[in-house]
Amino acid sequence: MEDYCSHLNELIKEEKPALIKAINENKYYLSQKENHDVGLQKAKEDFIANHLKTWATNFKDIYCNHVCIYEKDCSLED
């Protein structure tokens, strides 16, 4: 059994725009909370420190179980 996704490129292609959107949403909410534009760098740092692990796990779960056309033949097991 393989221990990696043989269709990783498809996952990354879908993940990148979703990650950019999530960071921008984080920037919006942080800026609202602090009553000023916190800037993209602070939003990225906060997202990485506080949200990335959960976000990535959720994204993979949704992608692999509902989007990926190879899901039924996937060689990975959780």
In sequence order, what DSSP letters do the residues of 10-67 get, joined into one string?
HHHHHHHHHHHHHHHHHHHHHHHHHTS---HHHHHHHHHHHTHHHHHHHHHHHIIIII
Domain ranges of the chain: 8-73
pLDDT in tens, 3-48: 567 777 888 888 899 999 999 999 999 999 999 999 999 999 999 9
Q: pTM for this one?
A: 0.77
What is the C-alpha separation between 1 and 74, in angstroms, rounded? 10
Structure confidence by residue, pLDDT tens digits, 51-64: 999 999 998 888 88
